[in-house]
Amino acid sequence: MADTPTYPSPTSAELRARLDARADSIRQHLAALEHEVKTVADVTVNGQPLPDVIRDRPLFYAGLALAGGLALGLLWGLRARTRRRPGEPEHDEFLRLYVASVLEAAARRVARGEEVGAAIEKTLRRRPPLVHYAPPVPEARSTLAETFDVALKTALGFGVKTGLDRLAKRFTGEDELFSAVEEVKEEHAP
């Protein structure tokens, strides 16, 4: 029996170091997300921060996001459609060659004096039947369906963010979820 290498179990100090490294990674990720949200908050529309403008008219901006998603999806779909050129399937070529070979053999029999129907029948009797099976091809989605999917997912994400912001405002009084999280973190910081 071959010797299998054994690895020593990590010590508690090594485990603690791994956990601390993971916690630092999570903190950095949250900091990057907060920076991204704060950067969006720096954008103003008519002197009012963008998140406040969106919160004032959420349905309008959800519709705007949906329309933008539809437009982008249509553009990408039409662009992709012009690139696609379906090739001729292999079975079409195989079928064409099979029929050509049957006709050629039948033509030789006819040239020797047989009747056309009898020549074809004798030729087909000596050949194996042609059976082609192809697994069902999944139905291709239309550009409109793909566009609707993109737009729906965009609007859903926008709606979830708006709902979470409203929920955070109800419970914490803060306008944004990330502001509420920051407030809770400050309360529980050592």
pLDDT band at 190 (very low <50, low <70, confident <90, very high): low
- Output phi, psi for 63, to 5 deg: -65, -40
pLDDT at 3: 62
Mean pLDDT over 175-179 rounds to 71
- Is 98 part of any domain? yes
- Is 54 part of any domain? yes
What is the domain count for the chain?
Answer: 1
Condensed to tens digits (0 to 9), the pLDDT of residues 103-149 reads 888 889 889 998 888 888 888 887 877 776 667 777 777 777 777 78
Burial of residue 179 (number of CB atoms within 10 Å: 0-12, 13-18, 19+): buried
Q: Which domain holds residue 78?
A: 49-133+141-187
pTM of the model: 0.30
| Tokens found for residue 164 | 């979470």
